[in-house]
Structure 1
Amino acid sequence: MLPINDLARHNGPLDGEIRVAIDRVLQRGYYILGPENQAFEAEFAAYLGVAGCVAVGNGTDALELALRALHIGPGDEVVTVANAGMYAGTAIHAVGATPRYVDIDPASMLLDVSLLPAATNDKTRAIVVTHLYGRMADVEAVVAFARPRGIAVIEDCAQAHGARRNGKLAGSVGDLAAFSFYPTKNLGALGDGGAVVSSDAGLLARLRGLRQYGWTSKYHVGMAGGRNSRLDEIQAAILRCKLPHLDGWNARRRAIIARYNAGLSGLGWQLPPAPGEGDVGHLYVVRAPQRDAVRAALTAAGIASDVHYPVPDHQQAALPMQASLPVTEVAAAELLTLPCFPELTDAELDQVIAACRQTVQGGQP
C-alpha cells in the first residue's frame, strides 16, 4: 500500500546524523531544558526571524499556553475556524474561554477575513489564524483588522513550517505563533513536541514560566495556569538535525502539488491553488464529489488516502455548538487527502494520478 506519509523513507537519510545527536544527549546526561533545547530555540527563532522561541511538549500545549500567556480565560471569546481538526478549539476550551467559529473561503479553505466584523465583539480577546494544509492564510489582513481593536492574533503554524508570505515566514506576523513537531509535520521530531514563538519579550517571559508550573523562579509559582510542558533534549537535538533540510523538503512538496494539479485537472475536483512560497504542501487535499467511492477505488488500487478533517469543530459530539458554517460543512463531505511527502517519487505520483483518473473517467464514482 502506498502510504499517505512514509516516515521511514523520510528519516532514513538522516539516520547517522540523528544517532550522533542522540548519543550527544546521552553522553551529556542532561535531558530536560538543557543545551540542546536552548540551541534549538535560538536556531528556530533565527530561522523564523522572531525574537524568541519557547519549546513545549506538543502543538496543542503550544496553543493553550499562547492563550494563557495572553491571560485569556472564562468569559473571553476566541475566534477561529472549525475545519482544522479542533486543535485550536481544544486549547480554547482548556483555558475556559469560548470559541466563536467563522466560515472559510471556499477556494483557499482558510479563514474568511471578510467575516471577522460579524464574528467579533467586546468579549473577543484573540483570533487564532490556522495556516491549514501548509497554506498560509492572509494573516496580515487579520492583524490589520485585529490590532486597532485590541485583539491578539495567534498563528497556528502546525502545518506551515517554512511557509513565507510577503517576505515573512509563518509565525512571524502575529503576536504569538504555535508550532507542532509531531513526526508527520514538515519539521517533525521522533515523538511529540511543540513551540510558541513571539517577538514580545513580556509574552516570551510568561511562556517560559507557564511551561514549567508557572514558576517565576525554581519552586516559586508566581503565575496561575502553569503546567508541565517541556520539549526533551533528545527531540530538540533531532529537530536541530532536521531544520537545515526544511526548505529543501518544502521545495519538493511544492513540486508534488504542481504535478498533482497538472495530472488531476479536468476531473471536476477542486484542486489546491498553484503552490508558491506561501504553501509548503503539508497535505495534498482536494474536494471530490462522491469522495467515499473515490477512496474505496484508491484502496483497491493499493493507494492510501485520508480525510482532513471529517467533522467540523461545532459538530463534534463532545462539544457541539450552534454555528452557521455552510462552506465548512459542505467541504467536510468532499475532502480527500492523497499521499504527499518529500520522498514520494514521480513514478508514485503518476500511479496515484492514473488511479484517480481511472476512477473518475472509468465511471465508477
Structure 2
Amino acid sequence: MNRHVKFDLNATPRAQDRAEASVALFGGNPVIAPGRITSWPAAKRKHLKALGVVVDSGRYHRVNHPVVTDLERCLTNWAGNWTTRAVGSGTAAIHVELDYFKDRGNLVVTAALNWPGAVGPISISGLQPRFVDVDLTLAGIDEDAAANTMEPDVAAVLVTHLFGNNILAPRTRAAARSRGIAIIDDVCQSIGAVKNIVNGMYLDSDALALSGNGAKHLGAGELGFVLTKDPNLIEHVDHVSLTSSSRNGARIFSAYSQGYNYRPNVFSAAIASSRIKGLDKQLKKRRNNATILWQMIRDLPGLSPLFDPADHSQSMLNFPLRIELEILGFPQGPAGRDFIIKLLQAEGVPVWVWLTRPVFEYLPAMRGRWNAADFPNTMRLLDTMFYVSEIAPPNDAEIMKLYADAFHKIWSALPKILGRVREVATAA
C-alpha cells in the first residue's frame, strides 16, 4: 500500500528542471497521443445493424415495440432475480419507484454524496430528503447513520452505488425492513449489483433503478429500467409513465396515468439489447484494466482507491481514486487535487473530477436547507476524489500501461512543482 512519506523537495535543481520541462502542461510532450484511447460507448457495426431494425420497423416510439420487449426479457434473464420494465432514464426509474412507495411516509433517507438526477425525484414525488454522511472507504451511504435515521415518517431509503461500487449496507437494510421502510437501490452506475453479489444472494431491495445512458455500461443513449419482484410496482410503471399507449398495443388514455411519458427510447433499447450478450465480458475487462492500472501505480505516495478493483463483484464503471493530501503535504481543500488532475490530463490521461459539492447544493429545491459542514466524510471525498475513465474495452493493458507511465511521470516531477501546487492550493 502507499508509503506515508512526503516528497523530497531538496532534489538537485538540474534534475528538477528537467522533470518540470518534460511535463506536458509546461510544454513537454504528452505520454498519450491524441486518438490513442477509445472513448466509451465504443460504437461497433453491430450497433448500426440494431438501429437499422428500428428504422425498418417504422415504429420509433411504441413501448410495446418488439425491441423493447426483447430487451426487458434479456435483462431480466441476465439479472436472474428481477422483473424488468424499461423507462426513459435512470432518473425516471427512481421517480416511478418513489411514486409507488410515497404513501409510506414523507421522508427519504439518502447520502449527501450523490447524483442530482438520483435525488431530484424525491422532491418531484412530494417527499423530503433526509441526508446522512457516507462511509469514507466506500463513498456510499454510512449504514449506521442511515439505520439511526429510520424514523416513523420515513417512506424509503435510497442507496446510491457510485462508480460501480456495491453498497451492501446490511444494517441499513435490516433497520428499514424492521420498520416497513422501502429500500430502493440506485444502481445506474453499478449494473452488476442487480446480480447475486451478496455471498451468492441478491440485494435485499424492493426496487432497483438502472440507467442505459450512453456513459453507462449499456452505452445506449437515454434509457432506464425499473427492476423489482413486486408485480404491483411493475403495473405501476405503466400507470405513471404511459399516457396514450399500452403494452398490448391499444391506443388508450388511462384514468390512472400521471402523464410523465417515460416511454423508453426504442433506438436506445436496440443498442442496449445488442450489448447484453457481451455484458459479462465487458465487466470483466473493466475490472481487469482497473486492477492492472492499480498494480502499476499503487506504490505512488498519496494515492488510494475508493474500493478494491480486484473484487469480482464490482461493476467498475470508472476507476475512482483519492489523493491523500496530508501524505503529499498539501493544505486541505480541492486545489491541490485539481492541479494534479490538470497535469495528468495534459499527459492525455482521461481523469476527471465529477462531483464537487454535496448533492443538496446542486438542487434549487434543497439548497440552503442543509449545511455541508455536517457531512465531513462527504466533504473530504469531494476535496480529494477523482476518477480514471475509459477503462472499458477495447482499451486494454497496453493503454493502462500508458496511463501508469503518465502517473509516474507526474509523480517524478512533483518534487519540483509541488511548491507551485501549494501556492495554487493556498491561494484558492
TM-score, scaled to structure 1: 0.90
1:227 is aligned to 2:260: yes
Question: Per the alignment, do residues 317 and 146 of structure 1 end up closer, same or farther by CA in structure 2, a change over 3 Å counting?
Answer: closer
Distance (whole Å) between structure 2 residues aligned to residue 313 and residue 294 of structure 1: 24
Match of 1:355 in 2: 406
Task: Please point out which of 377, 384, 404 is paired with 1:334.
Answer: 384
Question: Per the alignment, do residues 197 and 26 of structure 1 end up closer, same or farther by CA in structure 2, a change over 3 Å counting?
Answer: same
Match of 1:11 in 2: 43
1:224 deviates by 6.0
Q: After alignment, is 317-326 or 284-293 more displaced?
A: 317-326
1:111 deviates by 1.2
Q: After alignment, is 126-135 or 77-86 more displaced?
A: 77-86
Distance (whole Å) between structure 2 residues aligned to residue 78 and residue 240 of structure 1: 33
Match of 2:320 in 1: 285
Distance (whole Å) between structure 1 residues aligned to residue 303 and residue 90 of structure 2: 31
Q: After alignment, is 311-320 or 55-64 more displaced?
A: 311-320
Structure 1: gaps of 5 or more residues: none
Q: After alignment, is 105-114 or 299-308 more displaced?
A: 299-308
Q: Report SS of the residue matched to 1:308.
A: coil
Distance (whole Å) between structure 2 residues aligned to residue 206 and residue 81 of structure 1: 26
Q: Report SS of the residue matched to 2:338.
A: helix
Distance (whole Å) between structure 2 residues aligned to residue 3 and residue 284 of structure 1: 19
1:117 deviates by 3.1
1:347 deviates by 2.4
Q: Percent identity?
A: 23
Q: Deviations over 1:18-38 (max 9, x none)?
A: 222222222222222111111
1:140 deviates by 4.3
Match of 2:307 in 1: 273
Question: Per the alignment, do residues 97 and 215 of structure 1 end up closer, same or farther by CA in structure 2, a change over 3 Å counting?
Answer: farther
Task: Please point out which of 311, 316, 319 is paired with 2:357.
Answer: 311
Match of 1:48 in 2: 79
Any conservation in 2 of the 1:70–1:203 contact (CA below 8 Å)? no
**Once superposed, what is the RMSD of the aligned Cα atoms?**
2.4
Match of 2:93 in 1: 62
Alignment of structure 1 residues 89-238 onto 2, 5 Å: 89-163=119-193, 164=195, 165-166=197-198, 173-189=204-220, 191-213=221-243, 219-223=252-256, 225-238=258-271
AA aligned to 1:97 is: L
Question: Per the alignment, do residues 19 and 197 of structure 1 end up closer, same or farther by CA in structure 2, a change over 3 Å counting?
Answer: same
1:317 deviates by 6.5
Distance (whole Å) between structure 2 residues aligned to residue 26 and residue 142 of structure 1: 46
1:133 deviates by 0.7
Q: After alignment, is 327-336 or 273-282 more displaced?
A: 273-282
Any conservation in 2 of the 1:307–1:336 contact (CA below 8 Å)? yes
Distance (whole Å) between structure 2 residues aligned to residue 284 and residue 169 of structure 1: 25
Q: Report SS of the residue matched to 1:134.
A: coil
Q: Which has the larger radius of gyration?
A: 2
Distance (whole Å) between structure 1 residues aligned to residue 270 and residue 156 of structure 2: 33
Question: Per the alignment, do residues 2 and 140 of structure 1 end up closer, same or farther by CA in structure 2, a change over 3 Å counting?
Answer: farther
Structure 2: gaps of 5 or more residues: 1-33, 326-335, 419-428
Question: Per the alignment, do residues 317 and 159 of structure 1 end up closer, same or farther by CA in structure 2, a change over 3 Å counting?
Answer: closer
AA aligned to 2:51 is: I
Distance (whole Å) between structure 1 residues aligned to residue 199 and residue 393 of structure 2: 24
Q: After alignment, is 142-151 or 215-224 more displaced?
A: 215-224
Match of 2:51 in 1: 22
Any conservation in 1 of the 2:244–2:252 contact (CA below 8 Å)? no
1:173 deviates by 3.5
Q: Report SS of the residue matched to 2:410.
A: helix
Any conservation in 1 of the 2:40–2:215 contact (CA below 8 Å)? yes
1:343 deviates by 2.2
Q: Report SS of the residue matched to 1:136.
A: coil
AA aligned to 2:102 is: H
Q: Report SS of the residue matched to 1:221.
A: coil
1:269 deviates by 1.6
Question: Per the alignment, do residues 330 and 72 of structure 1 end up closer, same or farther by CA in structure 2, a change over 3 Å counting?
Answer: farther
Any conservation in 2 of the 1:128–1:153 contact (CA below 8 Å)? yes
Distance (whole Å) between structure 2 residues aligned to residue 129 and residue 152 of structure 1: 11
Q: Deviations over 1:81-118 (max 9, x none)?
A: 12222222111121121111111111111111111233
Q: After alignment, is 27-36 or 124-133 more displaced?
A: 27-36
TM-score, scaled to structure 2: 0.78
Match of 1:250 in 2: 283
Q: After alignment, is 100-109 or 259-268 more displaced?
A: 259-268
Q: After alignment, is 318-327 or 106-115 more displaced?
A: 318-327
Distance (whole Å) between structure 1 residues aligned to residue 303 and residue 103 of structure 2: 40
Any conservation in 1 of the 2:160–2:185 contact (CA below 8 Å)? yes
Any conservation in 2 of the 1:69–1:210 contact (CA below 8 Å)? no
Question: Per the alignment, do residues 57 and 5 of structure 1 end up closer, same or farther by CA in structure 2, a change over 3 Å counting?
Answer: farther
Question: Per the alignment, do residues 351 and 235 of structure 1 end up closer, same or farther by CA in structure 2, a change over 3 Å counting?
Answer: same
AA aligned to 1:303 is: V
